[in-house]
Structure 1
Amino acid sequence: MKELTLRQMEVVRAVMIAGSIQGAANLLHVSAPGISRLIKHTEDGLGFRLFERRAGVFVPAPEAHAIFAMLNQVYHQVENLNAAVSSVQKGQNFALSFASAPSIAQFIAARAIRSIRARFPDLMIDLNILKIEETLDYLLLEQGEAVFMSSPVENSAIESTPLVKGRIVAILPEGHELAAKDTVSVHDLMRFPFIGVDPDDPYGDTLARPFREAGLTPHHAIRGRFAQTMVSLVRHGLGVAAIDEFSVAEVYMPGLVRRPLTEKAEITAYVVQKRGRQLSSFAEFTIERFRHELTEAASRGQWDPPVQK
């Protein structure tokens, strides 16, 4: 006994709907002779007629009525399947939860989410902003699938994967005397009120590294926990700072001047996730987009026009 293939079912249904070989060919965008040959081949294989021709119209043969009824059910199920696939492709009725450190969330997250929204227009996105000590509970309790951090999380249940290396840069208020320099040394920064992050904090420790390597110990006039706070303090003329370039990766930042450090100083962005957890395709795409945006920011570098000396 011969079984119907999916192609045969498609052609048989097209003839049933169109009522003619030519009409079925038009529906399927193929040649009429090909449709005619396939119908004959199918009937020969099954051993009975599928259609009768009445007044030039193909109608189901009496012995094939049950087959056509089942064929319609199959196609309705296929339509439901395609609708479900389309729903997943758009992110409909799905939620993506992930988190970011404030430094990466400031500008990079919005750019990545723009791409995620374009790919999955109906996906609900839940973005959390976390301190590094909040990351462990967030991932282990599966409140979200991934966290983007500027430091790795040291825990056997957590996996930290490097994404991109970026630079630590100097930021100055507009009109500052160091803005006349093409590059700024950590020695230069130490001559002015210095704004930083507690070096006992992993992010603060990374920002302090180029000073330690130069034999300097930063003395903070003001400490801020997050990059946005440091940027705001510098903008208001309260001091100078060293910060990761991802935190200031915007084309125009009024009130702020960005300069490369004379010393080589790098910072690594990580994606952190629960070890062994299978990520959704939405989360995997999100990681790819963050990697792309971080790479773009690191390769482009946002430097402000030099001030005339």
Structure 2
Amino acid sequence: MLTLRQIEVIRAIMITGTIAGAAKLLSVSAPGISRLMKHTERTLRLKLFERRHGRYIPTPEANDIFEQINGVYKKVDDLHYTLARIERGGEIELRLGSVPSICHVMVPRAIERLRRKHPDLRIDINILKIEEALDYLLLGKGEIAAMSYKLDHPGIDFMPLAMGELLCIVPDSHELAGRACLSAREIVRHELIGIDPNDPYGRVMSEIFSRQGLAYDMRIKARFGTTVCSLVRAGLGIAIIDQFTVAHGSMQGITAIPIEEPTEFQTYVAIKNDKAPSLYAETFVSLLREEMNAVVSPRLRASAKALEKITSG
């Protein structure tokens, strides 16, 4: 039985015709090659080379072996090519979905880092409403979905992504723009633009008022956070929105202000539970989690890690 090292040495000698050449090709010492070759011939009880004029000439038996060895190396080369193609993401498409609040800033930042790791990877991104996410995954339209809410479905697994907080946003020129923090009582005194209370973020928003018995009136409601930001920037009121939509100063013309009351919420990544995630999906989720955790407070980051351990355990 030949070892892979012996096969490698036999091939190197046949290619170069000398022990010194084989040693150089394999970046090892010539005496080591010579000893291994002699040991191989003794083990096989077969003469593989004859020495003529300082060169190693393969015997007919060695030529037969060499043909098989080249077949092995062709398979190895094919394997290396396949691994390199997988690493670069060639001829592969990652299909992912996300709710708008996560897709606006966080997803592009994670995608940029993912493409650096796998430059040939094709990516298809779908912006989903919450109620669309289940069909998106169950019908195989996409592999994963970043969610602002955890649904209950036997065919879908929900893994914690990151915890976040809501912020109050006002126009840069607004009288509240210089404040370091705002209370719910102060917020309701102003014209409110909001997200529907039936939306996950809308529920968190309504709870900060209902806990204190505060009445509020939203003259303008919008489904997506980017629309809410545009309405605020136009001077139509102030609003409460998730921090991921306005992360990294993505919305010019508005100021984001922390809220005194607790406004934490948990985000998730959803995946169909009858199929293992691809390398690219796992890497994307890891990068997205890093990007989202980078903009939250250390306290929330610690809470998110604790929840992730409990869920994975």
Question: Is 1:273 aligned to 2:276, yes or no?
Answer: no
Report the alpha carbon displacement of residue 202 of structure 1 after superposing the two structures with TM.
2.8
1:249-276 superposed Cα distances (whole Å, 9 cap, x missing partner): 0236421101111112112111111223
| Structure 1, 78-87 or 55-64: larger mean CA deviation | 55-64
State the match for 1:264 in structure 2. Answer: 262
State the match for 2:238 in structure 1. Answer: 240
1:150-193 superposed Cα distances (whole Å, 9 cap, x missing partner): 11122222222222111111100011011121101122221111
Distance 2:178 2:75 in 1: 69
Distance 1:205 1:16 in 2: 74
State the match for 2:200 in structure 1. Answer: 202
Report the alpha carbon displacement of residue 201 of structure 1 after superposing the two structures with TM.
2.5
Question: Is 1:84 aligned to 2:78, yes or no?
Answer: no
Pick one of 105, 115, 120 that aligns with 1:122.
120
State the match for 1:305 in structure 2. Answer: none
Conserved? CA contact 2:229–2:251, under 8 Å: no
Conserved? CA contact 1:153–1:272, under 8 Å: no
Question: Is 1:291 aligned to 2:289, yes or no?
Answer: yes
Structure 2 SS opposite 1:205: helix
State the match for 1:154 in structure 2. Answer: 152
Structure 2 SS opposite 1:269: strand
Alignment of 1:1-309 (within 5 A): 3-251=1-249, 253-299=251-297
Conserved? CA contact 1:207–1:244, under 8 Å: no
Q: Per the alignment, do residues 63 and 161 of structure 1 end up closer, same or farther by CA in structure 2, a change over 3 Å counting? A: closer
Conserved? CA contact 2:106–2:291, under 8 Å: yes
Overall identity of the aligned pairs, in %: 45
Distance 2:240 2:283 in 1: 32
Structure 2 SS opposite 1:207: helix
Conserved? CA contact 2:188–2:215, under 8 Å: no
Report the alpha carbon displacement of residue 97 of structure 1 after superposing the two structures with TM.
0.7
Report the alpha carbon displacement of residue 277 of structure 1 after superposing the two structures with TM.
2.2
Conserved? CA contact 2:113–2:287, under 8 Å: yes
Alignment-mate amino acid for residue 4 of structure 2? L
Distance 1:8 1:170 in 2: 70
Conserved? CA contact 2:160–2:268, under 8 Å: yes
State the match for 1:304 in structure 2. Answer: none
Aligned residues between the structures: 299
Conserved? CA contact 1:157–1:275, under 8 Å: yes
Q: Which runs of 5+ in 2 are unaligned?
A: 300-313
Report the alpha carbon displacement of residue 94 of structure 1 after superposing the two structures with TM.
0.9
So what's the TM-score if we normalise by structure 1? Answer: 0.93
Conserved? CA contact 1:132–1:153, under 8 Å: no
Distance 1:15 1:268 in 2: 62
Conserved? CA contact 2:201–2:242, under 8 Å: no
Structure 2 SS opposite 1:271: strand
Conserved? CA contact 2:91–2:121, under 8 Å: yes
Alignment-mate amino acid for residue 132 of structure 2? E
Conserved? CA contact 2:22–2:33, under 8 Å: yes
| Structure 1, 246-255 or 180-189: larger mean CA deviation | 246-255
Report the alpha carbon displacement of residue 238 of structure 1 after superposing the two structures with TM.
1.0
Q: Which runs of 5+ in 1 are unaligned?
A: 302-309
Q: What RMSD, in angstroms, separates the aligned Cα atoms of the two structures?
A: 1.5
Alignment-mate amino acid for residue 136 of structure 1? L
Distance 2:249 2:17 in 1: 62
Distance 2:14 2:180 in 1: 76
Structure 2 SS opposite 1:39: helix
Distance 1:253 1:41 in 2: 72
1:59-95 superposed Cα distances (whole Å, 9 cap, x missing partner): 2112211111111111111101110111011111111
Q: Per the alignment, do residues 63 and 232 of structure 1 end up closer, same or farther by CA in structure 2, a change over 3 Å counting? A: same
So what's the TM-score if we normalise by structure 2? Answer: 0.92
Structure 2 SS opposite 1:180: coil
State the match for 2:302 in structure 1. Answer: none
Q: Per the alignment, do residues 216 and 274 of structure 1 end up closer, same or farther by CA in structure 2, a change over 3 Å counting? A: farther
Q: Per the alignment, do residues 43 and 189 of structure 1 end up closer, same or farther by CA in structure 2, a change over 3 Å counting? A: same
Conserved? CA contact 1:151–1:202, under 8 Å: yes
